[in-house]
Amino acid sequence: MEIRYTPPKVWTHDAESGGKWANVNRPVSGATYEKALPVGEHALQLYSMGTPNGQKITIMLEELLALGKNAEYDAHMIKIGEGEQFSSGFVDINPNSKIPALVDYSSQNAEPIFESASILVYLAEKFAAFLPEKGIKRTQVFNWLFWLHGSAPYLGGGFGHFYSYAPEKFEYSINRFTMETKRQLDVLDKQLAKNEFIAGDELSIADIATWPWYGNLILGNLYDAKEFLQVEDYTHIQRWAKAMLARPAVQRGRIINRDWGDEWEQLENRHCAEDIDKVLALKPE
Ligand SMILES: N[C@@H](CCC(=O)N[C@@H](CS)C(=O)NCC(=O)O)C(=O)O
């Protein structure tokens, strides 16, 4: 076998080597420049981008509003491809420099909330929705919420990175992460064969966390890998993914903090419901 790379004794950072994301990232944490974050008029201030991890929170907020909860929010775009996650304002609310991050100005000391699962649990508890209050039903939601949080990095950071973003296609890495992605799809498909929603017969934060990753993947909105992964085989995920997409809150939440795609699915910043209505009205019949 041809040896193409032997690791040196000590790794050094080569900003040119890693393709799409290497030029903004560094092997240390912290701010790279001084800039405060914008603050809108609502108590909930979200700093995000419409990637799968970002969509989780905007879909959750739109589902809460659809339920009649007082979950009005401003969603400010953080352009991660341009390094805005390294501004001093963003690092102050998430030292890990990853979207999404939330500040609730109606809470004591307005402590920042980061990690999408933590944000989902916070919102579910604050508004008493999409998460049973106690007992085994709550644990079942956590089983699948934490399953998603363990699995998605294999899909995004593993499969998506090597299949779609890497500057060169490496068979070893693509094989490893494709196998794991298909295994995870099979796990989810079997769960959805037994249940209408992921953690049972009601929509929960497990569905809201999972749809932006596996729903988008199955529907062909992520990595253009429908044929490669033979996604039509996962009939139960297909059923669930389409049912989720039929929900108005999912259609609204998925377009926020985006500056790519068709014009009817791009809303950079969201300050009120009408901001979304105007963009969705551009969708052809
Ligand atoms: N575990 C984190 C992951 C968040 C994450 O990976 N965010 C990505 C976008 S999907 C990001 O901000 N990347 C910017 C970077 O890596 O510099 C969560 O669930 O919130």
- The SS3 of residue 48 is strand
- Domain assignment of residue 282, yes or no: no
Which amino acid residue places its CA nearest to atom 19 of ligand 1? 116
* Residue 113: its H or E element: strand 112-114
- The SS3 of residue 229 is coil
C-alpha dihedral over 163, 166, 169, 175, to 10 degrees?
-40
Same domain, 63 and 167: no
**pLDDT of 40:** 98
User: In a mutational test of the pocket of ligand 1, which residue from 47, 99, 147 has the highest number of ligand atoms less than 8 Å from its CB?
Assistant: 99
Same domain, 165 and 83: no
Same domain, 249 and 269: no
How far is it, in rounded angstroms, from Cα 32 to Cα 246? Answer: 41
- Domain assignment of residue 55, yes or no: yes
Q: Are 251 and 280 in contact (CB under 8 A)?
A: yes
Q: How far is CA 225 from the centre of its chain?
A: 18
Write the DSSP symbol of residue 79. -
Same domain, 198 and 93: no
Q: Are 273 and 65 in contact (CB under 8 A)?
A: yes
Same domain, 76 and 4: yes
Residue with structure tokens 């989780």? 56
How far is it, in rounded angstroms, from Cα 160 to Cα 37? Answer: 30
Ligand 1 first shell, C-beta below 6 A: 25, 51, 53, 80, 85, 97-100, 115-116
**pLDDT of 20:** 64
Each residue's pLDDT tens digit in the chain (285 positions)? 778 889 999 998 877 665 666 667 889 999 999 999 999 999 999 999 999 999 999 999 999 999 999 999 999 999 999 999 999 999 999 999 999 999 999 999 999 999 999 999 999 999 999 999 999 999 999 999 999 999 999 999 999 999 999 989 999 999 999 999 999 999 999 999 999 999 999 999 999 999 999 999 999 999 999 999 999 999 999 999 999 999 999 999 999 999 999 999 999 999 999 999 999 999 998
Which tokens in the block code for residue 280?
Answer: 């969705």
Q: How far is CA 232 from the centre of its chain?
A: 23
Same domain, 176 and 239: yes
Task: Tell how far the Cα of 116 is from the centroid of ligand 1, in angstroms.
Answer: 9
- Domain assignment of residue 192, yes or no: yes
Which amino acid residue places its CA nearest to atom 9 of ligand 1? 99
Same domain, 142 and 232: yes
Residue 88 buriedness (CB in 10 A; 0-12 / 13-18 / 19+): middle
Which amino acid residue places its CA nearest to atom 6 of ligand 1? 98
**pLDDT of 25:** 82
The alpha-carbon radius of gyration of the chain (Å, integer) is 19
**pLDDT of 17:** 66
Number of domains in the chain: 2
Same domain, 6 and 110: yes
Full residue range of the structural domain in which residue 191 is found: 135-253
